[in-house]
Amino acid sequence: MQEHVVGAFLLQIDSAPGARELAGDQVVRTTRGTDVTQLSAWARVRAQVGYSPLYLFVRQEGRLVGGGSCSIAVSGGWAVLDTSRTAR
């Protein structure tokens, strides 16, 4: 996992599944205007065709306040990025 501080926010970038993935699912389920493609289940579906998940979590004072996800695959020397809508 990588972490970056931007102003009052802590950005966490993670490719490993686990508790952070479930926290992201909770944000998607409880935030209006989010999309099913942000759920960890969608990342598992995309993994079956060669994509790897990448999650972004935004925290303020330790509290999860936003995030997003994308899937990345390498094909013919190119990195293919499949982005999902972000929750906030």
**Interval 19-57: pLDDT, tens:** 666 666 777 788 777 777 777 788 888 888 888 888 788
Has residue 88 been placed in a domain? no
Has residue 68 been placed in a domain? yes
Residues paired with 25 in a beta bridge: none
Tokens 């306040």 -> residue: 65
Give the CA-trace dihedral at 25, 30, 34, 40, to 10 degrees: 10
Tokens 């942000």 -> residue: 38
Residue 80 pLDDT greater than 70, yes or no: yes
Lay out the sheet containing 63-75: strands in order across: 2-6, 9-14, 52-60, 63-75, 78-83
Structure confidence by residue, pLDDT tens digits, 37-46: 777 788 888 8
Give the CA-trace dihedral at 2, 84, 24, 46, to 10 degrees: -90
Has residue 60 been placed in a domain? yes
State how many domains the chain has.
1
Show the domain range for 9. Answer: 2-83
Cβ–Cβ < 8 Å for 75, 33: no
- Distance CA(88)–CA(35), nearest Å, equals 12
Tokens 């990342």 -> residue: 43
Has residue 71 been placed in a domain? yes
pTM: 0.65
Has residue 64 been placed in a domain? yes
Residue 87 pLDDT greater than 80, yes or no: no
